[in-house]
Chain A
Amino acid sequence: MAEVMTKGVLLALLAAVLGVGSAAYAEEVGDFVLPSSKAAALENCVEPTEYMRRNHFELIRHQRDETVYGGIRGDSHGLSGCVACHVGYDDSGTPIEIDAEGQFCRSCHAYASVEMNCFDCHATVPRGEAWNHEVAAAHAHLTGSAAARPTAAER
């Protein structure tokens, strides 16, 4: 009898934990955007947030083929733009790998348990970007100072 009771209590506890857990998660969806990232300061993503949540991969994949085969890098749907805007920074202003534990891509993919292998090959922090809408935006600001060509900046 006692055994049955213990089991019952355990089950109830388990249910409670799961219930509370999922409730907590449900609240958190959408809060994977890191406060330190540029994205945090913006109203929404390159498309409405709700749309991006469901369809970001379709956009990225479409852009991927446009870029690889068509050489079009200027669109705002490319992966390098995602990384540039959503990457988080530590206290010293150094970007943190976007697929690291607790970072934007990783935490949501972990939550949704969806595999992610973009970063097998793609850079996880903005570094040596060719062109994306983020670079362009920054460039619009810095264009004066960039007149000279310090290509050695990175070498």
Chain B
Amino acid sequence: MNHETESMNQGRRDFLGAAAGVSAAAVAPGVFLHTPVANAAPRTDPVTDMHRWGLLVDTSKCADGCTACVDACDSENGLNLQAKPHGQDELKWENQRAVWIRKVKLQDNLTGHVTNLPLMCQHCEHPPCVDVCPTGASFKRADGIVMVDRHTCIGCRYCMMACPYKARSFIHEQVDHKLTRAPRGKGCVESCNLCAHRLDNGDISTACAEACSAEGHQALIFGDLKDPMGPLRKALAKTPSRQIRQDLGLNTGVRYAGI
């Protein structure tokens, strides 16, 4: 069987070689995107709780006016392909389109100090959205990523009522253009999945953190909360950090320093 598959793949490769000229435009973007990490390999075993993925946001490094993380997320997850329905009000559409990560600017009521931070799904250990979902479509993957199984989501939006972070979006319109790695359709709810497609290919990164580093800010550190030697845990050990709505005891996977 293995041998058979191998020869089949060989056939494909040969064919692709011949067809490369024709289809390069269509296939290449996907090919180039995230495969080249040296030891990257798509996983063959189901994810386990050996890892728990998370982020540290250092708000002191988050630059005012910079939207690199938001832009990167938009193109990584096809959010920039959403089209405003014809005749819809511009501002209302901004409140209806799907948003996975947003830049938030805060001012301390007393001191006037201004803080910038990106806000996305906080990937709680005890996610309220998962508790309330009637069909179980909203779920937490073994590696701590909270996401929506679109195949069982009925669009009741109870998870959006339950989420303390306004992290979820409902797809209000017919979606004509989407990426293969980010399916999207009218009537379901979705939110940040920590670029699960990258992780599943062995690429330990998220579009937002990568873009933040590329800008030279390093305000976002992505990594494994369960790896004491990993970059995330090292950064967390050095910096005092907290959770947004820490009072709720949700044990979020995204932590913030400087608020």
Q: Give A43 to B201 CA distance when docked, in angstroms.
A: 28
Q: Give A24 to B149 CA distance when docked, in angstroms.
A: 41
Q: Give A72 to B42 CA distance when docked, in angstroms.
A: 7
Give the number of chain A interface residues (Cβ < 8 Å). 56
Checking A38, A75, A126 against B19 with a beta-carbon cut-off of 8 angstroms, the contacting residue is A38
9-residue interface stretch from B10-18, B54-62, B91-99, B158-166: B10-18
Contacts of B112 in A (CB 8 A): none
Contacts of B213 in A (CB 8 A): none
- Chain B's interface size range is 35 or more
Chain B residue at smallest Cβ distance from A68: B149
The answer to whether the Cβ of A73 comes within 8 Å of any Cβ in the partner chain is yes
- Closest approach, in angstroms, between the C-beta of B73 and any C-beta of chain A? 11
- Closest approach, in angstroms, between the C-beta of B226 and any C-beta of chain A? 16
- Given A71-B141, A121-B150, are A138 and B200 also a contact pair (CB < 8 Å)? no
Chain B residue at smallest Cβ distance from A85: B12
Contacts of B35 in A (CB 8 A): 131, 135, 139, 146
Checking B13, B30, B151, B199 against A68 with a beta-carbon cut-off of 8 angstroms, the contacting residue is B151
Chain B residue at smallest Cβ distance from A80: B180
Contacts of B15 in A (CB 8 A): 38, 41-42
Q: Give A120 to B12 CA distance when docked, in angstroms.
A: 28
Cβ proximity bits A113-155 to B, threshold 8 Å, 1 near / 0 not:
0000000111101111111011111111111001111110111
Q: Give A64 to B12 CA distance when docked, in angstroms.
A: 23
Checking A70, A129, A147 against B36 with a beta-carbon cut-off of 8 angstroms, the contacting residue is A147
Q: Which of B71, B149, B181 gathers the greatest number of chain A CB atoms within 10 Å?
A: B181
Chain A interface (Cβ within 8 Å of chain B)?
38, 41-43, 46, 64, 66-76, 80, 83-85, 89, 93-95, 120-123, 125-131, 133-143, 146-151, 153-155
